[in-house]
Chains A and B, each alone.
Chain A
């Protein structure tokens, strides 16, 4: 290797043209904001879908004018068909899991802040970074196409020309089969009913494209973190956010290829006539499925859930990182047990690879395997509890500054506990036999994976907004947004547990026909009202976000008096973050209220002698200075 003794300052000039600056930018900060905008668009689509579902469950037969105009087949007279409802379930899940919960936490905030927090001038491979966003964006366009390929007769007609398996226009808004896309239903094509033609093909293609985008991103994150940490930024001086993004990237790197493999097999089954997942002798719609033999539907479930379980942690780990970071900042205390937090994040990530079987207790599994998966699943409770207790330990005895990001972080802890505790119930195969495919499961994963992750991202948004845009978000609106959302999500998802106990099944378009569920209709109505209020409250967030970009109070460099590297540079940071000069790090990331220090926080870049007496303060990570 040639010696790296060159000294010229290597700076990329900032691009000047609009396209290179804002569209095909290779600046990680622009790409991060692009990911956040993508997630903000996708989450709006997903939320509208959830409201439509709630309306159909609560007031069957409601006429919705806009549905009649957009989807005359799927909602004749504005009343949605059961098939239409089921495709809403599928698309709500797919869009939320992939294009919201995977993009915003990792692609958005990770992209923007990981390089700055480790003191790098950009990601390791900036062009690859740009590609990963645009590939993901194409995936989003394809999933939106799936809506109209099935829902619109004209667009469906275009796809029908591509061949039998692409038959479209069946009057749904995408495939029917849930975000898990279990075969044989998803593999058979249009003979299996509405939504099984172009909808499923585009759905699989979209997910495959998304996998590629995520893999490029994950590779970039890992390389950046391992290769580009600045002087003094040892692994154990990294903010916990960086540990979370790093672990998430490892999970993505190892799990998305498995989904990609499964997706390729499913697509081949659909368009090339192979039999990976389609068993022989299937009767569908009164006729024998020809030409297929010997495939295994369980094989898909294994491949899917080998990805699917780590995916849950891909969604929530960045939220855990942001929460740890924000709790410490506003408690003005070091994170309780930094090292334990690092190992817990890593343990959760790694254990996540060995528990996929708990999604398949009811799919036909040897009881011995079920016990193994069950024990491994419950063991995730240990690192999760370590994290929870450490969060509480961080808050213990603190003089808390109750800012909006702090409220959302505390909300995250609350939701993580509330949603996680039912994981211990569902993780036991004997109990899962009863709860499987009921609203109890829906309650569990919405609280812990959906809403908790989103709370982590709300916290991150309110916290980092000043750095990203140089202006503060409005605290008053933020707090109103927090309280309505916090109470709202509990009002929605706590009753779900009760519905699950009553045996209310998931993915049913209506319950009015079931005698044993007659009495629970008031519960259904209550949830719908809560959901509508909560969704409407999000308008506050959107307004606050876009209004504050232009009209928010100027933020200054370090409005929260935080310690990590991003708070030592201007808001918003310049094109190459540190003006070409490597920062030097002398401190751990959470040195708050250190005795003897001039302020109640020590920036990571402050001189090493800033606390020059009695052996130095303990920076929360056990290092002596």
Chain B
């Protein structure tokens, strides 16, 4: 404060810049000469959010995978079971669903609403089929007498497929939400942007579920 207006030049410039301003206003007009731009929705939000979620889910599976690797080397009670063949069907279903959801995203981008809804519905069906197929794999193992606690390999098998399955079901709920959102009027630009963002995020998540499953399947098949 001591340095205020010690020269004319400075004083003039200060006035041009608005000069010392009162500090006890109502708080809503301190934009320093800015305009009254309202808050806007930035579509990157859902994208960032889903990548963060993927990062944390990945850390969960990194932790479990490290446990798998450590445990497989720490004793001689590790016995592999014969992989249920139906897992290959599961894998095919999930890869196909990844293709259909990508088609639905592209339909949405080119404003093809009916194509979007159609491919979305296909993805939901394939996703449910994947979960059912995984349950068949579990049933097959139970019939063979391979339970959760029979052997550490089995424990991890059920754990990985179960944890992945839970995340797929979360994805199915999100897909269901998108399907519901295909109906109803398009009210505001903001709501429409949010719908596009959500579709984008669910697609990314669904691809991640696909890649994650392939990784887990390969781990369970090829690692010890």
Contact = CB atoms under 8 A, between A and B. Distances in A.
A2 B188 CA distance: 13
Interface in A189-237: 215, 218-220, 222-223, 226-228, 231
Interface in A586-620: 586, 595-600, 603, 605-610, 612-613
A580 B39 contact: yes
Nearest to A4: B40
A276 interface: yes
Nearest to B45: A227
A581 B36 contact: yes
A242 B163 CA distance: 34
Contacts of B38: 7-11, 580-582
B149 A274 contact: yes
Contacts of B212: none
A111 B198 CA distance: 23
B41 A582 contact: no
A213 B70 CA distance: 28
A125 interface: yes
Nearest to A580: B38
A257 B149 contact: no
Contacts of A215: 56
Contacts, number: 226
A422 to B, nearest CB: 30
Interface residues of A, number: 79
Interface stretch (B72-80, B95-103, B175-183): B72-80
A556 B60 contact: no
Contacts of A19: none
B17 A2 contact: no
B33 A607 contact: yes
A294 B155 contact: no
For A255, A569, A605, the residue with the greatest tally of chain B CB atoms inside 10 Å of its CB is A605
B55 A294 contact: no
A254 B10 contact: no
B215 interface: no
A6 B190 contact: yes
B149 to A, nearest CB: 4
Interface stretch (B19-27, B82-90, B115-123, B124-132): B19-27
A613 B13 contact: yes
A582 B48 contact: no
For B13, B24, B57, B63, the residue with the greatest tally of chain A CB atoms inside 10 Å of its CB is B63
A569 B26 CA distance: 7
Contacts of A6: 40, 188-190
Interface stretch (A66-74, A258-266, A312-320, A323-331): A258-266
A294 B28 contact: no
Contact of B30 (A296, A299, A580, A606): A606
Given A257-B59, A265-B67, A268-B148, A276 B52 contact: no
B110 interface: no
Nearest to B76: A294
B41 A10 contact: yes
A261 B63 contact: yes
Interface stretch (B1-9, B138-146, B202-210): B1-9
Nearest to A292: B149
A398 to B, nearest CB: 16
Interface of B: 1, 3-4, 7, 9-10, 13-14, 16-21, 23-24, 26-28, 30-34, 36-45, 48-49, 52-53, 55-57, 59-64, 66-67, 70-71, 74-78, 148-149, 152, 155, 159, 163, 188-190, 192-193, 196
3 A-B pairs closest in CB distance: A609-B17, A294-B75, A598-B20
Given A295-B74, A303-B63, A599-B23, 15 more contacts: A1-B43, A6-B189, A125-B49, A219-B52, A219-B56, A222-B52, A223-B45, A231-B37, A257-B63, A264-B64, A295-B152, A596-B3, A608-B32, A609-B14, A613-B10
